[in-house]
Amino acid sequence: MRKLSILSISLVALLTTACNDNDDNGAPEIEIPGITFDGDIDCCSAEEALQVYKFIQTVHIVPELSLSIDGKYDITAYSSAGEFHTGYNEIFFVATKKLSGNYVKNFDISNITPLMYMIKMDKEHSTAVGAVENFDNGILAVKRGWVSFVMSSSDGGSWTLSYDATVLDGRGTLERAGITVNALPNGQTWLKSFKAGDDTYYLSLVNPTDWVTGTNAIRAYISKKSAQMTTPYALANEVFTVEIDPRMPDMGNHSSPNNVALTRQDDGSYQGEINLTMSGLWRIHLTIKDASGNIVAGGDDLDDGFSSLYWDVTY
């Protein structure tokens, strides 16, 4: 875990002192000099810096993806567990100044390019990648992107990841850093592909580990395989509807009521609702329809009447 920066230590001490001192009216006085520690206008406000520090306590550093720029700035990458698995993974980036450790509020990460080298075929391919944006809660000093790995690392193939970074007047590139992508626990499948016409698409399920018994928001992304194998797969421009039919194969394939199909949102994600009546293994059968309502993948295409396109999730 990254050590508390000089800025953050100063902020904690400052806020603690301020909250213990009351003015004549009994109201606490909180004085925060300047915008950041030592008047550094490139960095966050005191409140923002404290938010960043609190956030990075909830994630783990991915050391392979750290980058130093011009001897002046550091980029640190984080994920929920400090490692990656097949399917959808969020990656968070934080930029700091080497001299002070202060967070930099405006920086850019671009061109995230994961590549898997397949030994026997002597070829490389990429996978689905999302755009890097400001973190959801609006903290400028944290950027969020995601990668959905189509397969795990193995003796037959290995992954690297590259990206470009711009921090104030500095620019740098992390080139082909070796990373390990772990397989999901046995029986879990959170990424599936389907074909529509001549094109191949990847359907990435987001964070099913957050689900509970009852109604849950369900979110996914649909990415289109690039014509060039080494080009990351961007979000598909085509609009689909993803109908879901959750079943428990270990419990006689019973279903659950009140599920809502996933539809495309303004941010490019697909969202709906899934109702899970008990814990255990759920096989979420999928039917993909195009904008005209025609089935393009999945549906009742097996002898048992269930779709052969599905996610498997145990919670």
Residue extents of the structural domains in the chain: 6-182, 191-314
**Average pLDDT of the segment spanning 133-151:** 90
Q: How confident is the model at residue 5 (pLDDT cuts 50, 70, 90)?
A: very low
**Average pLDDT of the segment spanning 243-251:** 96
Note whether 236 and 221 are within 8 A (CB).
no
pLDDT of residue 305: 84
* CATH no. of 191-314: 2.60.40
Q: How confident is the model at residue 304 (pLDDT cuts 50, 70, 90)?
A: confident
Q: For residues 216 and 139, which has the higher predicted lDDT (pLDDT)?
A: 216
Q: Who's near 288: CB < 8 A, 6+ residues apart? A: 194, 196, 203, 240, 241, 242, 243, 295, 296, 297, 298, 309
**Average pLDDT of the segment spanning 230-252:** 97
Q: Is the pLDDT of residue 30 over 70?
A: no
Q: What does the block give as tokens for 38?
A: 């030592």
pLDDT of residue 19: 33
CA distance 312 to 282: 6
Percentage of the chain with pLDDT > 70?
A: 87
pLDDT of residue 39: 63
**Average pLDDT of the segment spanning 144-164:** 97
Note whether 256 and 244 are within 8 A (CB).
no
Cβ count within 10 A of residue 135 = 18
**Average pLDDT of the segment spanning 236-258:** 96
Look over the chain and give the mean of its residue pLDDT values, rounded to a whole number: 88
pLDDT of residue 3: 42
CA distance 83 to 67: 17
Q: Are strands 143-149 and 73-79 parallel, antiparallel or unpaired?
A: unpaired
Q: State how far Cα 6 lies from the chain centre.
A: 29
CA distance 267 to 244: 21
**Average pLDDT of the segment spanning 63-90:** 97
pLDDT of residue 18: 34
